Amino acid sequence: RKEVEQDPGPFNVPEGATVAFNCTYSNSASQSFFWYRQDCRKEPKLLMSVYSSGNEDGRFTAQLNRASQYISLLIRDSKLSDSATYLCVVDGNNRLAFGKGNQVVVIP
């Protein structure tokens, strides 16, 4: 089983719609969870950390489910500028492991 698994998509989302995706992780001892956003030909940038109680930042909501070992990201009221790849990052073995990313394409 891979350390971090994501369905790469692409996720084609009409503008204004809601999109959600999950990321599963294999290391039950993992303590730190992040969502990064990466635009085409740019570096990854932190979107949000994921806390046990879940957290929200504007239109973005992240959740952690330790029992089932996954984290989720929900984007409400999608904007064209949300088009990007969303990378799930989880700590383990003293390093941060990346998922393959969820490619989101917001369509006008």
Which residues, 6+ apart, have CB-to-CB distance to 103 below 8 Å? 8, 9, 10, 11, 84, 85
60 interacts with another protein by CB under 8 A: no
46 interacts with another protein by CB under 8 A: yes
Q: Is 51 in contact with 65 (CB distance < 8 Å)?
A: no
Report in angstroms how near the CB of residue 67 gets to another protein at its nearest: 24
**Looking at 12-20, 60-68, 72-80, 84-92, which segment touches another protein (CB under 8 A)?**
84-92
Which residues, 6+ apart, have CB-to-CB distance to 67 below 8 Å? none
**Looking at 13-21, 35-43, 63-71, 75-83, which segment touches another protein (CB under 8 A)?**
35-43
